[in-house]
Chains A and B, each alone.
Chain A
Amino acid sequence: MNKKTNAFIITALAIICVLAIAGTAVSAFAYMDTRRIMTAMQEQAQEPDEDETREDDVCIGEEYFIRSTTAISDAYKSGDASALDDRQKETLSMASAILGEVIEDGMTPFEKEKAVYEWLTLKLINDNGILTVIPTTGEDRDNPYGVLKYRSAVCVGYATTFRLFMQMMDIDCKVVHDLSLCHSWDLVKLDGDWYHVDCYFDSDIGSYRHFNMNDTLASYDHDWDRSFFPHASGNKYNMALINVSNVGNIYDIPQFVKDCLDEGKTCFSCTFDEGIAREDESTAAAITSAVYNIVSMMGDGKEVQYEWIRNDAVEYVLCWYTYSYNSGTVDLPDETIEKINEALSEAFGDDYVEYDPDYGYNGAVG
């Protein structure tokens, strides 16, 4: 063969080699990609439908899981722990010991629930790891094992531990989660009525602010799938409504609040013998706001909140520790402002700060 022919053959062989190797590489990548896609599809098929609401096996905050603990509560009620694994047995032992401490013979379900709520909100440390971008929270803060062993919990830990205690005492209880899968709390059933309980929000203070709320109260800072979870309409076991006092009119609010604070009360409420006419709602809101500002500046370390709600008789009830309504500022007549300042001065004396209608928040009563 001549040189040209040799060169042609060599070039052709080189091209064939290149194409063969390239083709092999493309096939390999395509195969790997197909496998990756198929694996992902299989994994997705095994995962539960994220759009379907359920109580358990829900991931909160992309980190914490709500898991059932009925095996433990059933073992407690039956006295037979043989089916439990070691970790469940340890959980049962810790939970039983705590119930032994806080529950007394003869307690009603409400009293038992209250005792557990007080233990959870005052004995545990509120772990805020859920808010850190890369959580430093240790494991098991989202289940009763870790909560009871390490005495630290995130919201899921509070909720599942509260539910465990309730189920151990045969009190109906469900763990609820919000629509954005960021938070969880409980629904508990007392005397046929459901109530919301959020131990996490009341943690470290045990104020009862989020204890036994109906749907309306809970909706101020919670949202949930109402088509799935039971409706909570009870008021009977809401602490603010249990401890309600009566005052004459809205100008008695400052003195009432001052007296309650002096007595060391942390949850108190009042209704109004004279009622609150619609045209006085803004005035009532202004007074409450002014009292709130004064108490907030008193610097005694207490967290101040208040709330206007309606009781079963559809009366206005002012509860201390709550949200405020905010429908914008309202212009009040000068004589009304003067009356407000007189009430504040009489109640708070030297601590009195003149009501300023232009100062920040001015919530409405409604």
Chain B
Amino acid sequence: MKKVIALILCAAFAAAFAAGCSEPVRNDTVSMFDLSRAMLQAHGGETVMAYASSSDTNAAEQFAHVSSIDYDKTEAYFILYAQDGKESADEIVVIAVKDIADVAEAKQSLAAHAQKRHDLYAAYEPKHAAALDNAVIFTKAQYAVMIVSPNSGAVRKAFEDFTDQNK
């Protein structure tokens, strides 16, 4: 009887172990909304910025407008973008990936997005295309970030400070 119980416990332990071998769940990704507010404040300006994030119902569909990476690889994201694209090319995107090994791919996707936005503005509103040339794209831990802002330095600092303080 004891042997049977021991075997059952071993099997249960093995099953629990296997179940635990799933994708790691990050618990250190900051609140996208709070982070976006901090970066938006640093961005300043008069451009009315719209907000989209991984909390939205159509999050995956929205995400596809800024990145080509598999949405399942993302933990969270937000996009701040000019509500009237004709008035401004300003845009702030933060993508938090689940597996830090994917952050380089996320960064690359943002660079590709910036290039597409540049081509679009070069065709329709050339005066805003230069803003995309000055886009700041970088990674930090699990975050890939793109900043198109006349105050990109301040916006980046806001990002750095917020993520450092809210680990």
Contact = CB atoms under 8 A, between A and B. Distances in A.
B84 A133 contact: no
Interface stretch (A12-20, A68-76, A246-254, A335-343): A12-20
Interface in B76-133: 79, 81-86, 91, 116-117, 119-125
Interface string B1-25: 0010011001101110110010000
Interface stretch (A86-94, A100-108, A124-132, A325-333): A124-132
Given A17-B10, A25-B21, A180-B119, A10 B84 contact: no
A131 B91 CA distance: 12
Contact of A182 (B15, B18, B120): B120
A133 B85 contact: yes
Contacts of A62: 116
Given A132-B83, A134-B52, A14 B14 contact: yes
B99 to A, nearest CB: 14
Contacts of B124: 128, 130-131, 182-183
B62 A134 contact: yes
A17 B125 CA distance: 64
B7 A22 contact: no
Nearest to B17: A18
A14 B86 contact: no
Interface string B46-73: 0000101000000000100110000000
A178 B120 CA distance: 11
B93 to A, nearest CB: 9
Contacts of A20: 14
Given A10-B3, A25-B21, A129-B85, A134 B65 contact: yes
A22 B50 contact: no
Contacts of B62: 134
A133 B17 contact: no
Interface residues of A, number: 26
A13 B123 contact: no
Size class of the contact patch on chain B: 20 to 34
Given A61-B120, A183-B123, A22 B18 contact: yes
A21 B120 contact: no
A182 B10 CA distance: 61
Interface on chain A toward B: helix, strand, loop, or mixed SS? helix
A6 interface: yes
Contacts of B83: 132
Given A61-B120, A134-B52, A17 B21 contact: no
Given A131-B85, A133-B79, A10 B6 contact: yes
B101 to A, nearest CB: 16
A178 B81 CA distance: 25
A131 B14 contact: no
Task: Find the residue from A18, A22, A134 having the highest chain B CB count within 10 A.
Answer: A134
B85 A21 contact: no
Contacts of B86: 128, 131
A321 B10 CA distance: 82
B82 A132 contact: yes
10 contacts: A13-B7, A14-B7, A24-B18, A62-B116, A128-B84, A131-B85, A132-B84, A133-B79, A133-B85, A134-B50
Interface of B: 3, 6-7, 10-11, 13-15, 17-18, 21, 50, 52, 62, 65-66, 79, 81-86, 91, 116-117, 119-125
The 7 closest A-B pairs by CB, nearest first: A131-B85, A14-B10, A133-B81, A132-B85, A182-B123, A128-B86, A18-B14
Given A21-B17, A62-B116, A128-B84, 7 more contacts: A10-B6, A17-B10, A130-B85, A132-B85, A133-B66, A178-B123, A180-B122
